[in-house]
Amino acid sequence: MSTETLSKSAAAIERARAAGRTALVGYLPAGFPDVQTTIDAAVAMAENGVDLIEIGIPYSDPVMDGTVIQQATVEALRNGFSVRQIFDVVEGITRRTDAAVLVMTYWNPVMRMGVREFADRLAAAGGAGLITPDLIPDEAAEWMAVSDEFGLDRVFLVAPSSSPERMQSTVDATRGFVYAVSIMGITGARSSVSSAAQEVVAAAHRAGAERACVGLGVSTAEHVQEIGAYADGVIVGTALVAALRDGGVPAVAALAKDLSTGTSKGLA
């Protein structure tokens, strides 16, 4: 992995590790149902044991997302969310918490704004970096240079299908942590987490990744605890989005608190 002195994500994961915990990453889409609620819900996550906040940019063609997140992002767009508001969301969260705040985005909105302008504004808002589900390192030359310039994390995904060569090149290109996709599929809560996740994390660690976090299908404290036995962090998305949809900010706070009970490494 690249130099980590600047990485806010790495620092957040290492703080959790030092406290004997698995880092907990919580996802919400920006603007669902509105920008202020996103900020309030993210702050509530941070106050209830979430170490890293992942804020998604609603996008017209989210090919890696399942129904719950699709419906949330469609509503955000219908409610008038515009991409430049992502910086208000990030700033609103970083002003009120110490959690690292990453933006999850499909690549076209970044390309449309201009990669450099996007990075400049994200850094100014206090953001940690980007998670890019449809940008592989092979196509990321501009983002590699710009993220270096602004000290932003670049979180690429690795999957059960990644070859050893691709695992190596992706780990090498990553800064912050590697996003280990637990299953061949899309986002969505599942009753159990695939055993493939453990193999993906092991392969990432063998390739030199110091931090690998597991996402896709994680929805309960039991999942968090199970994954914490081998991974450095766990990523929860759909379950939190469903909680926000059904019960608002208090439900997000309650679920985050419950999920965080699974983070203690001592219990694993």
Partner 1 sequence: MTDTEQPQPATDGPAEAFLAGGSLRHAQGPYFGAYGGRWMPESLIAALDELEETFDKAKSDPDFLAQVTELNRSYSGRPSLLTEARRFAEHAGGVRVFLKREDLNHTGSHKINNVLGQALLAKRMGKTRVIAETGAGQHGVASATAAALLGLECVVYMGAEDCRRQALNVARMQLLGAEVIPVTNGSQTLKDAINDALRDWVANVHTTHYLLGTAAGAHPFPAMVRYFHEVIGEEAREQILSATGRLPDAVCACIGGGSNAIGIFHGFLDDREVALYGFEAGGDGVDTGRHAATITLGRPGVLHGARSYLMQDDDGQTTESHSISAGLDYPGVGPEHAFLADIGRASYEPITDAEAMDAFRLLCRTEGIIPAIESAHALAGALKVGQRLAAEPGNAGEKVIVVNLSGRGDKDVATAAEWFDLLPEDSAEAEIGAEGEQL
Contact 179, 167 (CB under 8 A): no
Of positions 26, 29, 49, 66, contacts partner 1 by CB under 8 A: 66
- Are 165 and 137 a contacting pair, CB within 8 Å? no
Q: Out of 40, 54, 91, 226, which one is annotated catalytic?
A: 54
Q: According to CB under 8 A, which one of 29, 31, 56, 62 is a site residue for partner 1?
A: 62
- Tell me which of 3, 36, 79, 108 binds partner 1, using CB under 8 A: 108
Single residue of 24, 69, 102, 159 touching partner 1 by CB under 8 A? 159
**Could you say whether residue 32 binds partner 1 (CB under 8 A)?**
no
Which ranges constitute the DSSP H helices of the chain? 8-18, 35-47, 67-78, 85-94, 107-113, 115-124, 141-150, 164-173, 196-206, 221-228, 238-260
Q: How far is CA 121 from CA 79, 99, 239, 245, in A?
A: 23, 18, 29, 29
Among residues 139 and 199, whose Cβ is nearest to partner 1?
A: 139
In the set 65, 91, 226, 232, the catalytic residue is: 65
Residue 246 binds partner 1 (CB under 8 A): no
Identify the CA nearest to 178 among candidates 202, 148, 151: 202
Binding mask of the shown chain, residues 127 to 146, with x at each position contacting partner 1 by CB under 8 A: ------xxxx-xx-------
Contact present, 176 and 10 (Cβ < 8 Å): yes
* Residue 106: DSSP 8-state: -
148 assigned to active site? no
Facing residues of 153 across strands? 129
Q: Which is nearer to partner 1, 21 or 179 (CB)?
A: 179
Cβ closer to partner 1: 70 or 219? Answer: 70
As measured in angstroms, the least distance from the Cβ of 139 to partner 1 is 5
Q: Compare residues 27 and 156 and give the one whose CB is closer to partner 1.
A: 156
Q: Is 232 a catalytic residue?
A: no
Q: Among candidates 178, 249, 236, which has minimal Cα distance to 207?
A: 178
- DSSP, collapsed to helix, strand or coil, labels residue 34 as coil
Q: Residue 214 and residue 198: Cα distance in Å, rounded? A: 9
Among 11, 83, 144, 202, binds partner 1 (CB under 8 A): 83
How many contiguous H segments (helices) and E segments (strands) does the chain have? 11, 9
Residues contacting partner 1: total by CB under 8 A: 41
Looking at the annotation, which residues are catalytic? 54, 65
Binding site for partner 1 (CB under 8 A): 59-64, 66-67, 70, 74, 77, 82-84, 107-113, 133-136, 138-139, 156-163, 166, 170, 181, 184-186
